[in-house]
């Protein structure tokens, strides 16, 4: 038997584990002044952590919405063609 393939979720989990290991390996730098810099504090608090978004959605919500609209439109067109053909051919 061959090797089992890794799922997308397993790949994401492995990537996040590697990122955590890299962060732990880096030495923590302590600033010389005891008060934190205001600019650094505001910039770091405004940034969204990218990892949480990747875990919450496998695909962007905009892409999902676009795909759903496209699917509904194509389904509606297909059903309309069937109904029109049924009445025109009187099967």
C-alpha 19/C-alpha 8 separation (Å) is 17
Assign 26 a pLDDT band (cuts: 50, 70, 90). Answer: confident
How far apart are the C-alpha atoms of 56 and 28, rounded to whole Å? 29
Q: Secondary structure of the chain: what % helix, strand, coil (to 5)?
A: 70, 0, 30
pLDDT of residue 15: 92
Residue with the bigger pLDDT between 19 and 51: it is 19
Lowest mean pLDDT among 38-52, 56-70, 77-91: 38-52
């Amino acid at each position: 038997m061959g090797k089992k393939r890794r799922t997308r979720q397993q790949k994401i989990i492995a990537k996040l584990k590697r990122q955590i290991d890299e962060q732990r390996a880096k030495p923590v730098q302590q600033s010389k002044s005891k008060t934190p810099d205001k600019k650094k504090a505001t910039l770091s608090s405004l940034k969204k952590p990218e990892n949480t978004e990747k875990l919450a959605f496998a695909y962007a919500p905009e892409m999902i919405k676009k795909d759903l609209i496209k699917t509904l439109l194509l389904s509606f067109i297909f059903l309309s063609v069937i109904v029109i053909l049924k009445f025109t051919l009187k099967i």
